[in-house]
Amino acid sequence: MNIDISKIVIDKIKDMEEKKVVENAIEETIEKTIIKAAKDALEGYSLKCMIEGKFEKEVSGIVSQIGFTAYNGFIVEKFKQITEGVINKDIQDKIAKTFDEILVLKRDKIKLSEICDAYRDYMNDNTDEDEKYDLEYFYISIKEDEKYHWLDVKLAKEEPQNSYDFDGIKFTIHRSYSDKNMGSIGSLRIGGYSLDKTLNFGNMSDIERLLVNLKYNDTPIEIDVESEDDIDNYFDIDN
């Protein structure tokens, strides 16, 4: 049996030429190399410094001229400009609204009972009638820490079976040194996660935006209730 190796090689090369195997391989390699080079350049320290420096120069200049609230308003407008044409307008508006409610709106103070009332409104608006009948009331817990005397506040649709699987809203109110009837939010957990892991600006409820706003602005909270017994946590049920 005679095997013509040279013919096999020539035929294979011709076949590869016709199918552009080598050409495609070269193009793919070049494309991968260019993309990698671009990523490396974008992630480079010098480019990061240049971008950060440009942003700092353009944005920080207004801080000395206007107040913090106006500065946050400026950030909201910049967000709208940056995202225009990039994301869906409905989502853009929703995120911008959340930015506005968290960063721009600043309250002089708020009562703890008002926070609980806001949660009650939220639960009534977001629970169907059948479930309201079944549950009758939602879960609110207000307990004072025996050692440090801050208030632990928990809010959820139903009382958790144990503390480990609590996925509602939990925050602490640290009392003021000068007035024990006043305080501010010390820690905040939403959906079982700490604040820094839950800021999904496109998917925040009214009560979540309120609490994040109070936390970020260190808003004074009047401690007008110190027990869940002082709170109306029954659902509004249509008869």
User: What are 39-58's pLDDT values in tens digits?
Assistant: 666 566 666 666 556 655 65
Rounded to 5 degrees, φ, ψ at 112 are -60, -35
Residue 176 has pLDDT above 70, yes or no: yes
Q: What is the mean pLDDT of residues 210-229?
A: 89
**For the chain, domain boundaries:** 5-42, 45-104, 110-230
Range in 100-104, 132-136, 165-169 with the lowest mean pLDDT = 100-104
Alpha carbon dihedral 6, 12, 17, 18, in 10-degree steps, equals 130
- Is the model's pLDDT at 166 over the cut of 60? yes
Which are the contacts of 74, defined by CB distance < 8 A and separation ≥ 6? 59, 62, 66
* 19 pLDDT more than 70: yes
pLDDT, residue 102, reads: 65
Q: Which of 86-90, 158-162, 189-193, 215-219 has the lowest mean pLDDT?
A: 86-90
Q: Which long-range contacts (CB under 8 A, 24 or more apart) does 121-128 make?
A: 121/206, 122/205, 122/206, 122/207, 123/157, 123/235, 124/235, 124/236, 126/205, 127/157, 127/235
pLDDT, position 119: 95
Q: Which pLDDT belongs to residue 68? A: 45
187-207 pLDDT, tens per residue? Answer: 999 887 777 555 555 567 889
pTM equals: 0.60
